[in-house]
Structure 1
Amino acid sequence: MTPRWSPPPHSLLRRSELRRRGVHSRRLASDEFTQVIPGFWTPTAQPAPLHAIARRLQHVVCPEAVVSHVTAAEILGLPLPPGQRYERLRVLHVSLPPAARRRLGRQAHVHRRRPSEVRVVLGVRLSATLPMLCDLALQLSPLELVQVCDATVGPDAPWPRASLAELRELAGTSAPRPGLAAVRTALGSARQRVESPKETELRLLLLARGFAEPDINSAVQVVDSHDERRGFRLDLSYREPRIAIEYDGDGHRTDRRQRLRDRRKDALLRRAGWEVVRVTQEDLRDPADLVARLDQLGAPRAGPLPLAA
Structure 2
Amino acid sequence: MTVPEPIPVLLHGRVFTRSEALNAGVHPERLRRRDILRVNRGRYRWVGDEDRRPRSAPHPTEELDRIVRDICPSTASHRGRAVLDAVPDAALSHISAAACRGWWLPQRFSAEEQVHIARAPDRPPTSRPGVITHRTSLAPEDVVVMDGRRLTSVERTWLDCAQLLTATELTILGDSLVRTPYTWAEEPRTAAWTTPDRLQDRVKRAPGVRGIAVAREALSLIRVGSDSPKETELRLALVAAGLPEPQLQVECWDPEYSAHFPATADLGYEEWLLALHYEGRHHRSENQLTRDIRREQAFVRQGWINLRFDAVDAAQGFRTAVEQVRRVLAQPSMGSAGRH
How far apart are residue 261 of structure 1 and its match?
A: 1.5
Structure 1 169/110 Cα, relative in aligned 2: closer, same or farther at 3 Å? closer
Kept in 1: contact 2:249–2:265 (CA 8 A) = yes
Aligned to 2:282: 251
**Secondary structure of the residue that 1:175 maps to in structure 2?**
coil
Q: Could you tell me which residue of structure 1 aligns to residue 50 of structure 2?
A: none
Identity of aligned residues (%): 26
Of 243-252 and 289-298, deviating more is 289-298
Deviations 1:71-116 (A, max 9, x none): 111223321112113xx02222112234445746324322233343
Alignment of 1:129-278 (within 5 A): 129-156=154-181, 161-224=193-256, 228-253=259-284, 255-278=285-308
Runs of at least 5 residues in structure 1 that lack an aligned partner in the other structure: 1-8, 11-47, 301-309
Per the alignment, residue 68 of structure 1 pairs with 93
Report the 3-state secondary structure (helix = DSSP H, G, I; strand = E; otherwise coil) of the residue aligned with 1:222. Answer: coil
1:173 shift after superposition: 4.5
Higher mean C-alpha displacement, 58-67 vs 147-156: 58-67
Could you tell me how far apart the structure 2 residues matched to 1:221 and 1:286 are? Answer: 31
1:286 CA displacement? 5.2
Count, aligned residues:
251
> Relative to 1, partners in 2 of residues 1:108 and 1:197: Cα closer, same or farther, differing over 3 Å?
same
Q: Tell me if structure 1 keeps the 8 A contact 2:248–2:267.
A: yes
Alignment partner for residue 296 of structure 1, among 327, 330, 340?
327
In structure 2, give the amino acid aligned to 1:68.
Answer: S
Q: Does structure 2 retain, via aligned residues, the 8 Å contact 1:244–1:277?
A: yes
- Separation (CA, whole Å) in 2 of partners of 1:158 and 1:69: 24
- Rounded to whole Å, the distance in 2 between the matches of 1:230 and 1:134 is 37
Q: 1:222–1:229: 8 Å Cα contact kept in structure 2?
A: no
Change (3 A) 1:211 1:175: closer
Shift of 1:69: 0.6
Aligned pair in 2 of structure 1 residues 125, 221: CA closer, same or farther (>3 Å)?
A: farther
Separation in 1 of the partners of 2:80 and 2:327?
54
| More deviation, 151-160/261-270 | 151-160
Mark the runs of 5 or more structure 2 residues left unpaired by the alignment: 1-15, 18-72, 182-188, 332-340
Residues 120 and 138, structure 2, Cα contact 8 Å, conserved in 1: yes
Output the amino acid matched with 1:110: T
Compute the TM-score of the two structures, normalised by the length of structure 2.
0.64
Q: Show the counterpart of 2:57.
A: none
Code of the aligned partner of 2:104: P
Return the offset for 1:134: 3.4
Whole-angstrom CA distance in 2 between matches of 1:257 and 1:121: 43
Cα shift readout 1:197-234 (whole Å, capped 9, x = no counterpart): 11110000111112111111133321217x74552232
Quote the Cα distance in structure 2 between the aligned partners of 1:105 and 1:201: 37
- What is the match of residue 19 of structure 1? none
Assess if the C-alpha contact under 8 Å between 2:94 and 2:160 holds in 1: yes
Q: Does the CA contact (< 8 Å) of 1:57 and 1:63 recur in 2?
A: no
What is the one-letter code of the residue matched to 1:105?
A: R
Contact 1:116 / 1:127 at 8 angstroms: preserved in 2?
no
Is the Cα–Cα contact under 8 Å of residues 155 and 195 in structure 1 kept in the other structure? Answer: no
Match status 1:116 vs 2:139: yes
Q: Does 1:93 align with 2:109?
A: no
| RMSD of aligned alpha carbons | 2.9
Alpha-carbon contact 1:65-1:94 (below 8 Å) kept: yes
Residues 238/299 of structure 1: CA separation in 2 closer, same or farther (3 Å cut):
farther
Judge conservation of contact 2:80–2:92 (CA < 8 Å) in 1. no
- C-alpha displacement of 1:164: 0.9
Q: Is the 8 A contact 1:154 1:192 kept in 2?
A: yes
Q: 1:204 to 1:52 in 2, by over 3 A?
A: same
Q: Distance in 1 between the 2:191 and 2:322 partners?
A: 37
Normalised by the length of structure 1, the TM-score is: 0.70
